Chain A
Amino acid sequence: MDVLLAILSLFGLYGLVTLGIAVIFAATRVVNLAQGDLMMVGAYTAAVAAGPAFGWRVVLALVVSAPLLLLIERLLLRRPLADGLATMLVTWGVGMALRQAAELLFTSTSRTVEPPMAGAVTVLTTPYPAYRLACGLIAVAVIGLVLLVAYRTGWGLTLRAIADNATMAALLGTDPRRVRTLAFVLGGLLAVLAGALYSPVLAVNPTMGFSLLVPVFFGLLFSRPGALATAAGAALLIAALSVLLRAWMSDVLAEVLFYLIVIGVAALRSRPWIWRFSSWLSRLLLPARAS
């Protein structure tokens, strides 16, 4: 049970940030290198807004970050969007600027946030920190909600259409620029939410989001553009792999094995015969339907 709860908690964190980066990638075909730093913005907002209750601080983080994200997208990303590399470099610069701003404002000394729920709850005979469980569950609920929007609403359909073929979607009357703006704001807000929610279990400092980029990138790498459920699934697999390896062996050995496995899987996926095999398999499992 310990292991399952650990997977839930880590999946909540990885899942929110990965899903956010996948939403942005779906609409813009750009890897947002500032995603970890947006998470840091959420954590700092929860840490420094000491007055209101914790829940309100999380809301405040989202409210404060939304116009910031809109501004970044409108001022910095819209024009160079036609060049993916330039846009990715801009997001790298944005992340760096956010880290430096946090260091200037709050110094590099870590801060902590008191969890809104103290103590432990017992889950099937296993005592577990109450807030850790709560934030894992909230994160998973939000991930579910985003997937629901992506697969059951018109906006989700538009996003998936743009991810599939932006030119065709535009010819059919969709405004890709509007969808891209919305996707960037939504994707960024998911990272901000992850930072604010998980601030009581992490050390809040300017570089806190940077170290999270590696598992998040692997999550994005293992997902299909536009298929957000695959991004959430990849985040779940990465969280489970990390927790299981660390439960069975020392952290140092687990990390080496973790990277060997994920890099091995990434290398295998790029082989053409794997693509052919997975394509045949999907046709066998999900035969084409007339719609």
Chain B
Amino acid sequence: MAQPPSPPRTGILTVATLLALTGCGGSAISGGQDGQSGSLKIGVIVPLTGPVSATGTALRRGFELGVKKVNDNGGVNGKKVEYVVVDDAGNPATSTQLARKLIQQDQVSMIFGTITGDTAEAVARVADDAKVPFGTAILGDTERCYTYQWGFGETTRQMLTPAVPELLRKYGTKVAIVGSDYNYPHFYAGVAKELVKQAGGSILAEEYSPLGQADWQPVITRMKDAEPDVVLSMVVGADAVTFSQQAKQFGLLTPELGFEGAPLDTDYYPALSALVNGRTHTVRWTDGLDDAESRKFVADYRAAHDFKDPIPEVAGNAYFGVQFLLDAARKAAAFEGPAINTEIGRLTFDSPLGKGTRFESTNHRLQADMLEVTIKPGGAYEVSKKLGPIPDTTPKTGCA
């Protein structure tokens, strides 16, 4: 008779092996530069695994090239900049733990990164408690403002203030809004509705769908019935692709319809190229900028990572954003959080993001230039109009 197997032991062993293979043993932590006494250390929290890992990876790459540039130019006050990269997998609970660890164990003077709004908010709370400056590079607005948090990505108002009147002029005044169902798309819709009204348009449909939606037919049918001239979409993640693809198949998304929002971001270009070619999009930075600094960054990024797709905007924001933070650190008397934070609030900084860029004290958002880009076949986000500085001085709870 055959020897009976010992199922529980085999099962547990197999699961343990699989969990180890799949990297579930905790967040990966990697060091940046060699340690050096008295150096300035930054903690980088990004999702390197999970659904938003592609954007997290782009942010990390932009950040690393920004630090390299500063170090190549002699560092900050003669000290090399070090950094520690940790993976929060886009989970706010992990982000909180990692932020605490970076501050308490790694003794970082600044934190940079995060992609989703909930992880940014989680880190901002820890950073505020510990009085450690925290920079983000992703577009959009968090719920509230924190004393130690600084946002380099464009705000909703900076995106929509130039885009909405232009869309209404080109396509018509009837607007439909669609978004994923979480805080930010609702905030985006609130700003959009205000700007559409100011531009003389009307909102015919407003739809939200829970994240992870596989079937958009009911939403698309309702939007089609409203016969909009323009669709503003803040459907994000994989849903942005599913929605746009199904909207095309159902005949909603035609070249005659104005379309603006998240699906036009470079992150989605490889999946949605045929749908977005020829459309215009409002951004803070694009790899199509022709200034010397942007060109060098683009060349370095492509060479370092053998990258052929459009470079995500978040990489540019991180590249120039970390240089801004390090310039503030240079002006601070010591590499201590409160001193650096004060200088960040005071600093004006020239970069391809704009001349004399600075943070608005009432909302801690960067006051910088905006661009209108036209998406060309092959993924070139070419600058079609330089919109100049678009201010957003709307006060936010926590800073106002």
* Chain B 190-219 residues near chain A, CB threshold 8 A: 207-210, 212-215, 217-219
Q: Is the CB of B238 within 8 A of A110?
A: yes
Cβ-defined partner of B181 (8 Å) among A87, A207, A242, A251: A251
Cβ-defined partner of B51 (8 Å) among A96, A207, A251: A207
Whether B393 is near chain A, meaning CB under 8 Å from some CB there, is no
Q: Is the CB of B18 within 8 A of A93?
A: yes
B315 to chain A, nearest CB (A): 14
B: number of interface residues (CB 8 Å): 50
A: number of interface residues (CB 8 Å): 54
Name the segment of B19-27, B64-72, B101-109 touching the other chain.
B19-27
Whether B271 is near chain A, meaning CB under 8 Å from some CB there, is yes
Residues of chain B contacted by A83 (CB below 8 angstroms)? 7-8, 11
Name the segment of B155-163, B246-254, B283-291 touching the other chain.
B246-254
Q: Is the CB of A107 within 8 A of B219?
A: no
Q: Is the CB of B270 within 8 A of A111?
A: yes
Whether A189 is near chain B, meaning CB under 8 Å from some CB there, is no
Known A-B contacts A86-B10, A86-B12, A96-B19; the reply to A202 vs B219 at CB < 8 A is: no
Q: Is the CB of B18 within 8 A of A94?
A: yes
Q: Is the CB of A97 within 8 A of B181?
A: no
B321 to chain A, nearest CB (A): 22
Q: A102 to B219: give the CA distance in the assembly, Å.
A: 30
> Which single residue of chain A is at the shortest CB-CB distance from B12?
A86
Residues of chain B contacted by A144 (CB below 8 angstroms)? none
Q: Is the CB of B241 within 8 A of A93?
A: no
Residues of chain A contacted by B246 (CB below 8 angstroms)? 201
Whether A196 is near chain B, meaning CB under 8 Å from some CB there, is no
Residues of chain A contacted by B17 (CB below 8 angstroms)? 93
Q: Is the CB of A205 within 8 A of B51?
A: yes
Q: Is the CB of B18 within 8 A of A109?
A: no
What sequence of 0s and 1s flags, for each residue 165-203 of chain A, a beta carbon within 8 Å of any chain B beta carbon? 000000000000000000000000000000000001111
Q: Is the CB of A201 within 8 A of B249?
A: yes
Q: A167 to B219: give the CA distance in the assembly, Å.
A: 50
Q: Is the CB of A9 within 8 A of B215?
A: yes
Known A-B contacts A94-B18, A202-B214; the reply to A108 vs B52 at CB < 8 A is: yes
Q: Is the CB of B219 within 8 A of A103?
A: no
Whether A82 is near chain B, meaning CB under 8 Å from some CB there, is yes
Residues of chain B contacted by A110 (CB below 8 angstroms)? 238, 241, 268, 271
Whether B50 is near chain A, meaning CB under 8 Å from some CB there, is yes
Q: A253 to B117: give the CA distance in the assembly, Å.
A: 23
> Which single residue of chain B is at the shortest CB-CB distance from A92?
B15
A40 to chain B, nearest CB (A): 11
Q: Is the CB of A203 within 8 A of B5?
A: no
Whether A237 is near chain B, meaning CB under 8 Å from some CB there, is no
Whether A13 is near chain B, meaning CB under 8 Å from some CB there, is yes
* Centre residue among A87, A90, A93, A207 by max chain B CB count within 10 A: A93
Q: Is the CB of A6 within 8 A of B18?
A: no
Cβ-defined partner of B208 (8 Å) among A81, A115, A250: A250
A196 to chain B, nearest CB (A): 15
Q: Is the CB of B272 within 8 A of A112?
A: yes
Q: Is the CB of A243 within 8 A of B218?
A: yes
Q: Is the CB of A201 within 8 A of B245?
A: yes
Whether A290 is near chain B, meaning CB under 8 Å from some CB there, is no
* Centre residue among B19, B219, B249 by max chain A CB count within 10 A: B249
A78 to chain B, nearest CB (A): 8
Residues of chain B contacted by A87 (CB below 8 angstroms)? 7, 11
Residues of chain B contacted by A112 (CB below 8 angstroms)? 241, 245, 271-272
Q: A92 to B239: give the CA distance in the assembly, Å.
A: 24
Residues of chain B contacted by A212 (CB below 8 angstroms)? 214
* Centre residue among B5, B214, B241, B267 by max chain A CB count within 10 A: B214
* Chain B 1-37 residues near chain A, CB threshold 8 A: 5, 7-8, 10-12, 14-15, 17-19, 21-24
Q: Is the CB of B251 within 8 A of A120?
A: yes
Whether A222 is near chain B, meaning CB under 8 Å from some CB there, is no
What sequence of 0s and 1s flags, for each residue 36-69 of chain B, a beta carbon within 8 Å of any chain A beta carbon? 0000000000000111111001000000000000
Whether B242 is near chain A, meaning CB under 8 Å from some CB there, is yes
Whether A252 is near chain B, meaning CB under 8 Å from some CB there, is yes
Q: Is the CB of A108 within 8 A of B50?
A: yes
Whether A208 is near chain B, meaning CB under 8 Å from some CB there, is yes
> Which single residue of chain B is at the shortest CB-CB distance from A89?
B15
Whether B183 is near chain A, meaning CB under 8 Å from some CB there, is no
Whether A55 is near chain B, meaning CB under 8 Å from some CB there, is no
> Which single residue of chain B is at the shortest CB-CB distance from A83?
B7
A37 to chain B, nearest CB (A): 11
What sequence of 0s and 1s flags, for each residue 222-244 of chain B, a beta carbon within 8 Å of any chain A beta carbon? 00000000000000001111100
Whether B97 is near chain A, meaning CB under 8 Å from some CB there, is no
* Chain A 234-280 residues near chain B, CB threshold 8 A: 242-243, 246-247, 250-252, 254-255
* Chain B 361-391 residues near chain A, CB threshold 8 A: none
Whether B77 is near chain A, meaning CB under 8 Å from some CB there, is no
Whether A211 is near chain B, meaning CB under 8 Å from some CB there, is yes
Task: Return 10 A-B CB contacts under 8 Å, by A number.
Answer: A80-B5, A86-B10, A100-B22, A107-B53, A108-B54, A112-B271, A203-B245, A205-B238, A207-B238, A247-B221
Given A79-B7, A93-B22, A201-B249, 8 other A-B residues pairs in contact with their CB atoms under 8 A = A85-B11, A86-B12, A97-B21, A100-B49, A108-B54, A129-B250, A201-B242, A250-B207
Residue ranges of A at the interface with B (Cβ–Cβ < 8 Å): 2, 6, 9-10, 13, 76, 79-83, 85-87, 89-90, 92-94, 96-97, 99-100, 103, 107-112, 115, 120, 127, 129, 131-132, 200-203, 205, 207-208, 211-212, 242-243, 246-247, 250-252, 254-255
Residue ranges of B at the interface with A (Cβ–Cβ < 8 Å): 5, 7-8, 10-12, 14-15, 17-19, 21-24, 49-54, 57, 181, 207-210, 212-215, 217-219, 221, 238-242, 245-246, 249-251, 267-268, 270-272
